Amino acid sequence: MWFFARDPVRDFPFELSPDPPEGGPPGPWVLHRGRKKATGSPVSIFVYDVKPGAEEQTQVAKAAFKRLKTLRHPNILAYIDGLETDKCLHVVTEAVTPLGMYLKERAEAGGLKDLELSWGLHQIVKALSFLVNDCSLIHNNVCMAAVFVDRAGEWKLGGLDYMYSAQGNGGGPPRKGVPELEQYDPPELADGSGRAVREKWSADMWRLGCLIWEVFNGPLPRAAALRNPGKIPKSLVPHYCELVGANPKVRPNPARFLQNCRAPGGFMNNRFVETNLFLEEIQIKEPAEKQKFFQELSKSLDSFPEDFCRHKVLPQLLTAFEFGNAGAVVLTPLFKVGKFLNAEEYQQKIIPVVVKMFSSTDRAMRIRLLQQMEQFIQYLDEPTVNTQIFPHVVHGFLDTNPAIREQTVKSMLLLAPKLNEANLNVELMKHFARLQAKDEQGPIRCNTTVCLGKIGSYLSASTRHRVLTSAFSRATKDPFAPSRVAGVLGFAATHNLYSMNDCAHKILPVLCGLTVDPEKSVRDQAFKAIRSFLSKLESVSEDPTQLAEVEKDVHAASSPGMGGAAASWAGWAVTGVSSLTSKLIRAHPAAAPAETNVPQRPTPEGLPAPAPAVVPATSTTSGHWETQEEGTDTAEDSSVADRWDDEDWGSLEEAESVLAQQEDWSTGGRASRAGQTSNLDPKSESDWSSWEAEGSWEQGWQEPSPPEPPPEGTRLASEYNWGGSEPSDKGDPFAAVSSRRETSAQGKGRPSWLGRSARSVGGRWKPNALKRRQPRAP
């Protein structure tokens, strides 16, 4: 029976890349790219081929193998695995690039910043300090070829071939035998007088000075070139001169060198180095220190290298959220770093965290997620939105904090295209109906109307027919002036979703009533909308064949493409409201106007003026909601219907920071804050708990009943002389209309609230005058 010996190289769990080798430190080692067979994760593999007659080099290579395997430090090349046979040595480390090659690649891309160089040199000096002060080891090979850079831009010290003990246990330094490395030796070693080195770190610190010179000036041609600092920064020159001084006694200890460079004004005293040092010790920091660090981190990320943000900052942010209870403060830097990731990396690293954050009860986290949804919404798929995100987001509609309710409404602009039929046409419409009908905050009612106008094209045809006209009609009766403007512009933004019959019988009557609104901004928008709809009706009247083209979207299924026009027209809404919402909430925290308290219209002459209605914040909002007027009014023509697309409705603005305006939401639970009242009592929530109970649009927003025929004897408007100059003694023609409305509202019987003493005059019930009680004589 034959037995075949197993090939250890073939069974090795790592394999070399077919790409050519990247070089390596001067000597027998050759650096190759590689990968782990099981996972495909990248690694670096240092290969040494054993050659006959090179026993001394083989012993040096084996010693380096052993040193790298036993030394563990964040700034020393990380050992992963190794293979030792009679023919070769394989040392597997983390994936790295030689520093010389890295600097060349970055120079072609614009060069390294001083921030990156300062931290890289800091890491190498810290590794030398660990070797000399903690391990009593002399590296004996500090140079450009012994430094490597990982994917995060971290500098690692390698090249441990010629390391020896500072205590003399293993004999003196090994002979290098490589001419390229001898130029880095300090001058005292070349002195044949036998003068001993005064300090154990003196030789390595001289070589550190050579490394600094090469980093800023390129390869070192000869030792005499060290006298000219060249491009070395001025803040580093004094400390560099100490390193390359001829007297070995004045060369500082690595620890003292770091201390000198970290002094105020020093080369290593900057935000980048401080951030890295904090991240290295983040596990032992106090929670308050972590909170402050993450709050300030996002301001600095723009100046930090991209690789550093992706591979060092991002893992720390994810760890802080997962295990450190960092809370909402990690969101801003997390999404900022997420911009550096591709779609696949974003799905793997950011989206799972975002989905988990939406289930949090922390109010600060919830509102920051809603505010920054635009940064990650494109990476969310529809099943994730409908099953894991939307069920948590809708709780914000019932929150007692107005800021959270407002942000929840605005977030629907981004979520609506990804919602399924049940969530969009049933669940979301139920919450919108309750908010517009019952919310105490005028800006939130306004934003609800705005959002509905923007997402109208995504609704199903039946939902659009049932909801849009009723919703916008109700908005035009809101006591809050911007809500009435939003209702008018909502009609305009969704004009293509109404039939000609609806335009004539439902929409135009509502808009005509707004032409006498107390607010000029409402009247202006009403006139524009009326002209637009009239032009549309007139064009169809002139050419009935256009009817099919004009109504093509009325019965069409919901489509993202249909929302393009609405989105551009409705840019007005959030612009005006976002900048006002938080201010209005602060100014009127408990302004809950009754839904029946609609603004009073100007009354015709001769009739008693009604009591003025209270319109919250009209004086402060009127100017904000007036759009830019056109320079001159031109004659109406067939292009009037299209001018809504050409008008500049403004652009979306980011909402003001509501965190500074609210109290600590993360500790307040769902309790109402002092100074804020809410009409979302348990009774109202239970009333809206089911779609059929009270949340339907038909029950919440009923269409006005058709007017009754005028009473007998009422003259038609066409019978009056509207343009004549002769005086008319017929009276005010609108008085009959007013009487008709009162008659239809009161009915034929005596209303109970008038009392038994009421009398009927001309078919109208009037109460008798109350007799004044005469004062008694004293």
Do 164 and 55 fall within a single domain? Answer: no
SS (H, E, C) 619-659: HHHCCCCCCCCCCCCCCCCCCHHHHHHHCCCCCCCCCCCCC
Q: Which amino acid is at 712?
A: E
Condensed to tens digits (0 to 9), the pLDDT of residues 491-540 reads 999 999 999 999 999 999 999 999 999 999 999 999 999 999 999 999 99
Percentage of residues in the chain having pLDDT higher than 90: 39
What's the mean pLDDT in 140-154? 92
SS (H, E, C) 737-753: HHHHHHHHHHCCCCCHH
Q: Which domain holds residue 203?
A: 98-271
Q: How many CB atoms lie within 10 A of CB 88?
A: 14
Do 139 and 221 fall within a single domain? Answer: yes
Q: Is residue 547 part of a domain?
A: no
Per-residue confidence (pLDDT) for residue 605, from 0 to 100:
37
Q: Which two tokens stand for residue 175?
A: 């002979």
Q: Quick one: pLDDT band at residue 150, thresholds 50, 70, 90?
A: very high
Condensed to tens digits (0 to 9), the pLDDT of residues 638-657 reads 333 333 333 333 333 333 33
Do 257 and 305 fall within a single domain? Answer: no
Q: What is the pTM of this model?
A: 0.66
What's the mean pLDDT in 606-617? 35
Per-residue confidence (pLDDT) for residue 287, from 0 to 100:
85
DSSP summary character for residue 670: T
Q: Is residue 284 part of a domain?
A: yes
Q: How many CB atoms lie within 10 A of CB 288?
A: 8
Chain-wide mean pLDDT for the chain? 74
Per-residue confidence (pLDDT) for residue 110, from 0 to 100:
80
Q: Is residue 157 part of a domain?
A: yes
Q: Quick one: pLDDT band at residue 268, thresholds 50, 70, 90?
A: very high
Per-residue confidence (pLDDT) for residue 607, from 0 to 100:
34
Do 109 and 236 fall within a single domain? Answer: yes
Whether 417 and 592 have beta carbons less than 8 Å apart is answered as: no
Do 160 and 300 fall within a single domain? Answer: no
Quote the CA–CA distance of 173 and 197 in Å, as a whole number: 13
Q: Is residue 182 part of a domain?
A: yes
Do 144 and 220 fall within a single domain? Answer: yes
Condensed to tens digits (0 to 9), the pLDDT of residues 456-502 reads 989 999 999 999 999 999 999 999 999 999 999 999 999 999 999 99
Conformational region of residue 218, where left means phi above 0, alpha means psi within -120 to 50, and beta covers everything else: left
Total residues found in the chain within this entry:
778
What's the mean pLDDT in 751-766? 50
Do 135 and 121 fall within a single domain? Answer: yes
Reply yes or no on whether the pLDDT at 77 is more than 50. Answer: yes
What's the mean pLDDT in 351-370? 88
Do 81 and 131 fall within a single domain? Answer: no
Do 197 and 293 fall within a single domain? Answer: no
Name the domain boundary from 47, 76, 97. 97
Do 238 and 168 fall within a single domain? Answer: yes
Do 105 and 221 fall within a single domain? Answer: yes
Q: Which two tokens stand for residue 72?
A: 């563990």
Condensed to tens digits (0 to 9), the pLDDT of residues 8-20 reads 667 788 888 777 6
Q: Is residue 556 part of a domain?
A: no
Quote the CA–CA distance of 696 and 698 in Å, as a whole number: 5
Do 282 and 319 fall within a single domain? Answer: yes
Whether 131 and 165 have beta carbons less than 8 Å apart is answered as: no
Quote the CA–CA distance of 270 and 233 in Å, as a whole number: 14
Reply yes or no on whether the pLDDT at 378 is more than 50. Answer: yes
Handedness of CA 467, 472, 474, 475 (dihedral sign): positive
Name the domain boundary from 304, 325, 340. 340
Percentage of residues in the chain having pLDDT higher than 70: 67
Q: CATH number of the domain that 45 lies in?
A: 3.30.200.20
Per-residue confidence (pLDDT) for residue 768, from 0 to 100:
52
Which range scores top for mean pLDDT: 178-192, 438-452, 698-712? Answer: 438-452
Per-residue confidence (pLDDT) for residue 624, from 0 to 100:
32
Per-residue confidence (pLDDT) for residue 54, from 0 to 100:
81
Conformational region of residue 171, where left means phi above 0, alpha means psi within -120 to 50, and beta covers everything else: left
Rounded to the nearest angstrom, the gap between the alpha carbon of residue 399 and the centroid of all alpha carbons in its chain is 22
Q: Is residue 2 part of a domain?
A: no
Handedness of CA 669, 674, 679, 681 (dihedral sign): positive
Contacts of 716 (CB under 8 A, 6+ apart): none
Per-residue confidence (pLDDT) for residue 697, from 0 to 100:
44
Per-residue confidence (pLDDT) for residue 330, from 0 to 100:
86
SS3 content of the chain, % helix, strand, coil (to 5): 55, 5, 40
Name the domain boundary from 271, 297, 332. 271
Q: CATH number of the domain that 172 lies in?
A: 1.10.510.10
Q: Is residue 175 part of a domain?
A: yes
Whether 447 and 412 have beta carbons less than 8 Å apart is answered as: no
Per-residue confidence (pLDDT) for residue 22, from 0 to 100:
67
Q: Which two tokens stand for residue 276?
A: 């890295």
Per-residue confidence (pLDDT) for residue 171, from 0 to 100:
65
Condensed to tens digits (0 to 9), the pLDDT of residues 97-116 reads 999 999 999 888 887 889 99
Q: Quick one: pLDDT band at residue 181, thresholds 50, 70, 90?
A: confident
Split into its structural domains, the chain has a count of 3
What's the mean pLDDT in 395-423? 93
Q: Is residue 412 part of a domain?
A: no
Reply yes or no on whether the pLDDT at 440 is more than 60. Answer: yes
Whether 598 and 639 have beta carbons less than 8 Å apart is answered as: no
Residue closest to 449 by CA, chosen among 683, 441, 691, 420: 441
Quote the CA–CA distance of 768 and 758 in Å, as a whole number: 6
